[in-house]
Chains A and B, each alone.
Chain A
Amino acid sequence: MFLYQGPVKELDDKFVTLIGKFVADIKHGKIRGSTNRVLAMVTLLETIITESQYTTALELCGAIRAAGRQVMAALPNELGVEGSGESLQRLVLAAGARRATLGTAQHDLREPLRDYIAELRGELESSISSICGQAREHVHGDELILTYGASAITEKFLRAAAPRKYKLILAEGPDPTESHAMANRLSAAGVPVTVISAASIYAVMSRVNKAALGGGAVLSEAGLFSVTLAARHYRVPVLALVPLYKLCPIHDLTPFNSSGSPHTALSYDHHEATSDNVHVYAPMYDFAPPDHVTLFITNLGGSSPSYMYRMLSELYDPSDYLL
């Protein structure tokens, strides 16, 4: 336990600049999609590990923790929602470092760690395809599937299920253009798609056989809750597509939501937009309670919500929950 009680190491200037660049890239939208972000984070940590002069587990853990804290302070919502994997990766690495070295702390750890990182990266890259591999187990012929908004993983999943000849209802997410583009691509891939507005989700839910949701599943883009709530009312099974890197043991719920630009709700053209008595809220995320989800589909197979804690404890050392 002593590993986590020591003071956090000061990072080299070199690394601070690297972290700054990483944060800037994410902030400016240069790195899109959670998988890419996680991969970028792994690359960042790998650089820190290989280029640092620390060799012992304790020192490496200190450096990684310091980097983790910085990233988390800069991007709390990314961490909590989309890129929760970032914190995870850091923890996995720390755990890996310990696993490989307990007792023999004097050895140069960097070489074994590099192998471990390569393995991890392979796992990350294959996680989506392994989720999509399960598509045909869950989607059957002549079923009516509902999905909400655009997300890369749902699109791949639905595409993989295309030979099953199911029908798809796509409810528009916060950004309708992206949803429309995804509907276009899917219909080109041979899936019959019907696009509906988010307002009519409840109306069609009674006819839907399954709802498939991606993009973070539990904490996801705004509007998700209305989907899961309607699904629960009609007892429609909800499949949440979650690669394991999205599971995160630590999540600071205080700034749980962050608000985006309110232009989606009210155009800035209107003078009401700057009126004092008008408050426009445009939360970016929504929380679907676990009892709304029937099955989490991870890269290790489907598991029910009540089993998720087990997954977490397998992935992380409980002493890593605190940075």
Chain B
Amino acid sequence: MEIDKENVVQAVVIMDTFNNHFSPICDNKPMGLLQVAGIPLIDFALESLSHGGVGEVILFCCKGGQKIKDYVRSCIDNKAIWSVTMEVQVMMSDTCQTMGDVMREIDAAGLIRGYFVLTTVNSISNIHFGSLLEQHKQTCKKDKGAAMTLVYKKVSWEHPLIASDKPTFLAADANTKKVLMHQKYKPKSTEKSINLPLEIVLNHSEVKLHHNLVDASIALCSPSVPPLFSDNFDFQTRDDFIHGILINEEILASSLYYTLLKGNQYAAAVTNWKTYQTVCHDVLHNWTYPLSIDTGLSYQNTYFDMGNHNFRNKNSTLSRSSSIVENVLIGSKTVINDNTVVTKSMIGKKCVIGNNVTIKGSHIMNNVVIKDNCNIVNSFIDDNCTIEENSVVENGTIIASNVVVQAGSQLRGNILESTEAEREKTLMKSTSESTEWENESSGSGGDDFIGFEKTWSDSESCYSSDGSDESSLPDSPIPEDTNIFLQEVIDSLARGYEEKLKNDYLILEINSSRYAYNIQLHEVNFFVVRALLSIPVLAETKNVLSTVKDILKYFKPVLSNYIKTKSSIMDCLRAVEDSCIKCQWLEGKCGQILHLLYEADVVDEDSLIEWRQDLEENESPIANQPSLVKFFEWIEEASEESDESE
């Protein structure tokens, strides 16, 4: 029995992706239960592992572990095919935040007996893991330090799996298949050159460069991998691990290898909505053979092939006048009524689709009700939703479970969530909020969110409307501390102005906030002027200019305290520029403000001229404002006059 155990191939499946690419769908349910072509990902994972000769599986859940556990148990009770040949163990840990934590946990628990397969729940493949692992063992015999063999599938550059994910660049020794360099680019990166260190080329007789690899997040690991994660606390993801190993190859005494899959082998990972669609398509078109839409409990073939890659469950009901065009999957007990057109879509179980509905390029999960005359294009609708009559849902709308969409709604690229707390099925996010949500996700997630595709397979538009411009974050947002500082300065100045406090106290107050928030001197100059021009009184008054004049007069001592040197004058002018751009009440009045400052002797001619040049160089939006132009004309005239008079 003991000997037998040693030969069993072990696999570790990480059940989370540690990102929010599938938010809000995967907020409340584990990634493993997300359905791809009607089958939960976990079924694909387990089936492919059992098919690949794996004997023991460790499912590692970081959230929703109980749901996974229940699901696995129900599968075993129902005699799923894999349960006969494979032992499945579900591990749970709420503390793990990254893949690195998971590996450290596994190392601590001592679950790994030897070589093992490391994969994630979102990868779908039909490869034979056992033989690949054997291959990795052979590599290890030649090189004791071989830690990991990465599994890649080579596809063409235009392939959607590459175009919509992070392309990988790989340099490797052609003879030994040892990885020398590994780099991931951002999606649609505009980088045109690749830096290849010279020693890579000098030290190896033949180097292979790959740029068109699909990373299915499958790796074959040596027993040394979990300890390596434990030793290096900065390894958070598999990419960290790869980079760490490559950079510190000598110190860690480890190396990486790669292997490419052959023509009939399929491997891909569902990493975002785009790849989700691609993988669904591949499953429907049988590229994943023998994994198919019948994968699951015991391969009870329950689908009718209707031609044109349309499949419908034997228990589904289609109206005679409905039309199913191509690439459609219809689950069991789903009813489709009169004159409804469905194309390029997946419809789950027990759905009811009304009359005259058009469904195109969409993914509809289970128990969804779509009433008459709706139009559903390129959208994702989760379980138990209801779409009332005459609604339009399109452009990558994502609707989480239990939402009711009101009759006649127009949803374009929105993300709808149901509020669990109130137990009320309401719309939470409107269009304006949805953009906000994306910014959040790209900011906090660190990864670029790739949205649902606008058109089903338009190779040009990689990102949807809801994903288009997040790669560039809102330009240089004011960092937290300085923002608070600015607010405080504005508050104290406003109070000082209202209550006619002494300027000396105000200076003291500003200085103390300055130290509290650790603000540089030149920033203080900038913010004081900025604050002066943002005092709330200005927004309310009708005659802005006279108020500004008043304010400047009142705060003269403050200004003269801060604005003394040439560089501080420049700070002041930049603050004016900034305020004129950002504050509505100063719109178009830049010249007048400057005039007031000039008259108050805060700024001088030389710095004004220098600043103007800066403006023109930087192509500032206010450079050509008529008031500003006029003001500079006046300055020039004035200086000439003064020259003459001398």
Residue among A75, A271, A282 making CB contact with B299, cutoff 8 Å: A75
Known contacts A275-B457, A276-B344; A255/B298 CB under 8 A: no
Which residue of B81, B83, B266, B457 is within 8 Å of A276 (Cβ)?
B457
Instruction: Tell me, yes or no, whether B309 is within 8 Å of chain A by CB.
Output: yes
When chains A and B are docked, how far (Å) is the Cα of A274 from the Cα of B458? 11
| B386 contacts the other chain (CB 8 A) | no
Check A24–B290 contact: CB distance below 8 A. no
A27 touches B84 (CB 8 A): no
The answer to whether A269 and B79 touch across the interface, beta carbons within 8 angstroms, is no
Q: Which residues of B contact A275 (CB under 8 A)?
A: 457
Q: Mark B63-90, 1 if CB is under 8 A from A, else 0.
A: 0000000000000000101111100000
**Cα of A310 to Cα of B266 in the assembled complex, Å:** 46
Per-residue contact bits, chain A 238-275, to B (CB 8 Å; 1 contact, 0 not): 00000000000000001100011111100111110111
A20 and B287 form a contact (CB under 8 A)? no
Main secondary structure of the interface of B (DSSP, over half): loop
Among A26-80, those with CB < 8 Å from B are 27-28, 73-76
Residue of B nearest to A261 (CB): B289
In the complex, are the beta carbons of B85 and A24 less than 8 A apart? yes
Q: Which of B84, B156, B305 contacts A20 (CB under 8 A)?
A: B84
Any chain B CB within 8 A of the CB of A21? yes
A262–B300 touching, CB < 8 Å? no
- In the complex formed, the residue of B with least CB distance to A21 is B84
The 8 A CB mask of B292-324 against A (1 = contact, 0 = none) is 000000111100110011000000000000000
Question: Given A20-B81, A28-B50, A274-B160: A254 and B287 within 8 A (CB)?
Answer: no
User: For the complex, what is the distance from the CA of A260 to the CA of B288, rounded to whole Å?
Assistant: 9
B121 nearest CB across to chain A (Å): 21
CA distance A282 to B263 in the complex (A): 14
* Contact indicator B301/A260 (Cβ below 8 Å): no
B263 touching A268, Cβ below 8 Å:
yes
Instruction: Flag whether A113 is at the interface (Cβ < 8 A).
Output: no
Give a binary string over B115-136; 1 marks a CB under 8 Å from any A CB, 0 the rest.
0000000000010000000000
Q: Judging by beta carbons under 8 Å apart, are B79 and A20 in contact?
A: yes
Task: Given A74-B300, A275-B457, decide whether A262 and B285 contact each other with a Cβ distance below 8 A.
Answer: yes
Q: Check if B155 is an interface residue, CB within 8 A of chain A.
A: yes
Do A270 and B156 have beta carbons less than 8 Å apart?
A: yes
Size bracket of the A interface: 20 to 34
Assuming the A-B contacts A21-B85, A73-B301, are A269 and B154 also in contact, with contact meaning beta carbons closer than 8 angstroms in the complex?
yes
Chain B residues within an 8 Å CB radius of A262? 285-287
B51 close to A27 (CB less than 8 A)? yes
* Size bracket, chain B contacts: 35 or more
Is A194 located at the chain interface by the 8 A CB criterion? Answer: no
Whether, in the assembled complex, B281 has its beta carbon less than 8 Å from a beta carbon of chain A, the answer is yes
B315 to chain A, nearest CB (A): 14
CB atoms of B305 and A255 under 8 A apart: yes
B16 to nearest A CB, angstroms?
26
Chain A residues near B287: list those with CB within 8 A: 261-263, 268, 273
Q: Which residues of A in the span 89-142 have a Cβ within 8 Å of any Cβ on B?
A: none
**B84 CB, min distance to chain A CBs, angstroms:** 5
Q: Which of B51, B83, B286, B298 contacts A23 (CB 8 A)?
A: B298
Q: Does B459 contact A (CB under 8 A)?
A: yes
Residues of chain B lying within 8 A (CB to CB) of residue A23: 81, 298-299
CA distance A267 to B155 in the complex (A): 9
With both chains docked as a complex, state the minimum distance between the C-beta of B639 and any C-beta of chain A, in angstroms. Answer: 66
Whether B286 contacts A261 by the Cβ 8 Å rule is yes
Chain A residues with CB under 8 A of B618: none
The distance in angstroms between the C-alpha atoms of A23 and B79, with both chains bound, is 12
CB–CB A279/B155 < 8 A:
no
Knowing A20-B298, A254-B304, A271-B156, the reply to whether A279 touches B326 (Cβ < 8 A) is yes
- Which residues of the partner chain B approach A267 to less than 8 Å between Cβ atoms? 263
Contact between chains at B278 and A276 (CB < 8 Å)? no
Question: Bound complex: CA of A5 vs CA of B611, how far in Å?
Answer: 99
Q: What does the 1/0 interface line of B132-167 toward A look like (CB < 8 Å)?
A: 000000000000000000000111111111000000
Residues of B within 8 A of A (CB): 50-51, 53, 79, 81-85, 126, 153-161, 263-264, 266, 278, 281-282, 285-290, 298-301, 304-305, 308-309, 326-327, 344, 456-457, 459
Q: Which 9 A-B pairs have the closest CB atoms?
A: A261-B289, A271-B158, A276-B457, A271-B159, A24-B81, A21-B84, A20-B84, A263-B264, A271-B156
Enumerate 11 A-B pairs (CB-CB under 8 Å) in ascending A order: A21-B85, A24-B81, A24-B82, A74-B298, A254-B304, A259-B286, A270-B159, A271-B158, A274-B161, A276-B456, A279-B326
Additional 7 contacts, C-beta under 8 A, given A28-B85, A269-B156: A20-B81, A20-B83, A27-B299, A261-B287, A271-B156, A273-B159, A276-B456
